[in-house]
């Protein structure tokens, strides 16, 4: 919530009063999150503190937040050095890959000095590793025969993760281009930024219909798309007064959705490119906000063609003075 409010304050920066209200609320929520984190016994969701802290820094220019998100201890707790099976998987329950890229942007465009540079350099290096893991030659993540990357290792609902990866890959390629960097290294091999865009395009194309089922997984797009979406608003006829229990008959109905939920991406195929248009099986047909947000981000990023990145807008609250190390450090 703190990240959402902080980022929104930047978007609505021209509405000064409203933007300030968003920042005040974000500060209060982030402070609450920090207080709660001290009671956490596991490392789960420490990545949220870095994610929120990064956006708090962009929204306020307050070095206190930058110092927190570049803390080696916090990065370790968030799993920044673990490289486990879900490392590089950006999703609703793990923001680390997105956070590292967000802070890589800071390093590429503003070059903060010591002591922030040390951890920012590490995040930049980790982002490069994540991008390498998305490439076809890399064996960390399997792919279906149709070319969909299985970031959740064959578990159900893979499209949300593929869409997120497509977004991050395009964004990183934009960052590299904007900083006049032609590509990046994966071990001894050098790859041009176009490779990232090709990966992103392949995943979006798969989602939109270039797959073994020849089906668009976005409702209302193309000639063939899911007609039994696991979604209340789509499956219950208009103007029906239905109790919670009464809604089950619509869920279990074999009829097509009476309402077309335009633009909704469903959960997607299984690990063998198989898909069953069944409302009762949410592993195939569930439409979620978290899934669609990644797809929208990927489509917006790819539609710019690499030439529309705003280098400075995100840093509007950061002044040269605020990038100087704090006197205490």
Dump pLDDT digits (tens) for 269-327.
999 999 999 999 999 999 999 999 999 999 999 886 555 678 788 899 998 777 877 65
Q: Is residue 328 one of the residues assigned to a domain?
A: no
User: What integer is the mean pLDDT of 169-178?
Assistant: 95
pLDDT of residue 2: 97
Per-residue buried b or exposed e for 184-206, using 16+ beta carbons within 10 Å of the residue's own CB: bebeeeebebebbbebbbbbbeb
Q: How confident is the model at residue 210 (pLDDT cuts 50, 70, 90)?
A: very high
pLDDT of residue 247: 83
pLDDT of residue 309: 76
pLDDT of residue 84: 86
230 an active-site residue? yes
Cβ of 120: how many Cβ atoms within 10 Å? 23
pLDDT of residue 39: 75
Set 153, 230, 231, 276: catalytic member: 230
Domain of 141 in residue numbering reads as 2-310
**CATH code at position 132:** 1.50.10.10
pLDDT of residue 83: 84
Distances (CA, A) of 176 to 102, 129, 146, 301, 306: 13, 15, 29, 14, 10
pLDDT of residue 305: 56
- Name the percent of the chain lying above pLDDT 70: 95
**Pairwise CA distance, residues 321 & 329, whole Å:** 15
Q: Is residue 324 one of the residues assigned to a domain?
A: no
**Pairwise CA distance, residues 270 & 175, whole Å:** 33
Dump pLDDT digits (tens) for 176-194.
999 999 999 999 999 999 9
Question: Phi and psi (nearest 5°) for 127?
Answer: -60, -40
Whose CA is closest to 254, among 274, 276, 228?
228
User: What integer is the mean pLDDT of 121-130?
Assistant: 96
Dump pLDDT digits (tens) for 57-97.
999 999 999 999 999 998 988 888 888 888 999 998 899 99
Beta-carbon contacts of 191 under 8 Å, excluding residues fewer than 6 positions away, are 132, 135, 183, 184, 185
Dump pLDDT digits (tens) for 290-299.
999 999 999 9
pLDDT of residue 143: 97
Q: Is residue 261 one of the residues assigned to a domain?
A: yes
Total count of domains within the chain: 1
Q: Is residue 148 one of the residues assigned to a domain?
A: yes
- Name the percent of the chain lying above pLDDT 90: 75
Q: Is residue 193 one of the residues assigned to a domain?
A: yes
pLDDT of residue 140: 93
Q: Is residue 256 one of the residues assigned to a domain?
A: yes
Q: Is residue 326 one of the residues assigned to a domain?
A: no
User: Mean pLDDT across the chain, nearest whole number?
Assistant: 92
For residue 246, pLDDT over 90 is answered with: no
pLDDT of residue 235: 93
Give, as one character, the DSSP assignment of residue 199: H
Q: How confident is the model at residue 151 (pLDDT cuts 50, 70, 90)?
A: very high
Whether the model clears a pTM of 0.85, i.e. scores above it, the answer is yes
pLDDT of residue 329: 52
pLDDT of residue 325: 72
pLDDT of residue 310: 80
Distances (CA, A) of 142 to 75, 113, 129, 146, 225: 27, 39, 16, 11, 25
**Pairwise CA distance, residues 17 & 14, whole Å:** 9
Q: How confident is the model at residue 124 (pLDDT cuts 50, 70, 90)?
A: very high
Query: Is residue 97 a contact partner of residue 89, using CB atoms and an 8 Å limit?
Result: yes
Q: Is residue 276 one of the residues assigned to a domain?
A: yes
């Amino acid at each position: 919530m703190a990240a959402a409010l902080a980022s929104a304050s930047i978007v609505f920066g021209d509405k000064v009063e409203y933007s300030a209200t968003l920042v005040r609320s974000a500060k209060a929520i982030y402070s609450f999150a920090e207080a709660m984190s001290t009671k956490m016994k596991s490392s789960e969701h420490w990545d949220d503190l870095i994610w929120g802290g990064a956006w708090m820094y962009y929204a306020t220019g307050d070095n206190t937040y930058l110092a927190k998100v570049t803390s080696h201890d916090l990065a370790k707790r968030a799993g920044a050095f673990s490289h486990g099976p879900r490392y590089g998987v950006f999703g609703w329950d793990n923001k680390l890959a997105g956070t590292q890229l967000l802070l890589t942007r800071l390093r590429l465009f503003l070059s903060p000095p010591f002591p922030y540079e040390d951890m920012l350099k590490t995040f930049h290096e980790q982002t490069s590793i994540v991008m390498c893991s998305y490439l076809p030659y890399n064996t960390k993540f399997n792919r279906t025969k149709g070319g969909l990357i299985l970031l959740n290792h064959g578990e159900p609902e893979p499209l949300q993760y593929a869409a997120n990866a497509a977004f991050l890959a395009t964004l990183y390629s934009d960052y590299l281009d904007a900083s006049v960097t032609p590509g990046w290294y994966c071990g001894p091999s050098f790859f041009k930024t176009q490779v990232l865009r090709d990966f992103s395009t392949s995943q979006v194309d798969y989602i939109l219909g270039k797959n073994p089922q020849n089906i668009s997984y976005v409702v209302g797009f193309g000639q063939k798309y899911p007609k039994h979406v696991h979604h209340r608003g789509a499956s219950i006829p208009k103007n029906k007064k239905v109790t919670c229990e009464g809604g089950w008959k619509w869920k279990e109905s074999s009829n097509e959705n009476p309402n077309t939920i335009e633009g909704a991406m469903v959960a997607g195929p299984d690990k063998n490119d198989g898909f069953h248009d069944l409302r009762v099986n949410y592993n195939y047909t569930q439409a979620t906000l978290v899934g669609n947000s990644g797809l929208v981000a990927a489509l917006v990023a790819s539609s710019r063609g690499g030439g529309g990145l705003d280098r400075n807008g995100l840093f509007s609250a950061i002044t040269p003075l605020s990038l100087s190390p704090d006197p205490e450090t």
